[in-house]
Amino acid sequence: MKKETSNTYNRTYPISWEQLQRDARALSWRLVDKGPWKGIIAITRGGLVPAAIIARELDIRLVDTVCIASYAERDRGNIKVLKSKDGDGEGWLLVDDLVDTGKTAQVVREMIPKAHFATVYAKPAGRPLVDTFMTEFSQDTWILFPWDSEIQFVQPIAGQGAQES
């Protein structure tokens, strides 16, 4: 399925709440021995849910945020820092849902360069900017997160493109 708003995505991969929880918990297994952590810094908004799951799994109570505005339909590619984090990030775990093109990741890496950057999902363009990730997707796949979707009827594959006589 092609995403309507972009010609750079040739397929869509929906992530359910259950899959996101499983993947974030699996990412926690990769992170448990890399600590101890001073706390977690979630990149809003996408990193909030994975950060909450990881905080629970790693028994971390201190969770902060950096607030970045990106992926707005009208300003695609423009990134605004709405809330930053003081310090260089030493000892902190930085969490986001996905590293895609790496534009947001680059801004956050410059802001807090010594934080350990973990994402649940990664794509090739942004993957070099993160330290740990769980699952990689192709660059042309649009990841449809559960907070961005709702359940609805989908035409069966055999019926797609069929013309009425």
As annotated, the active-site residues are 96-97, 100
CB 44 within 8 A of CB 67: yes
Alpha carbons 24 and 44: distance in angstroms, whole number = 16
Give the 3-state secondary structure of residue 110. helix
Between the CA of residue 143 and those of 10, 22, 44, 79, 96, what are the distances in Å? 11, 16, 17, 19, 13
The backbone torsions φ and ψ at residue 62, rounded to the nearest 5 degrees and listed phi first, read -95, 110
Rounded to an integer, what distance in angstroms lies between the CA atom of residue 69 and that of residue 65?
Answer: 13
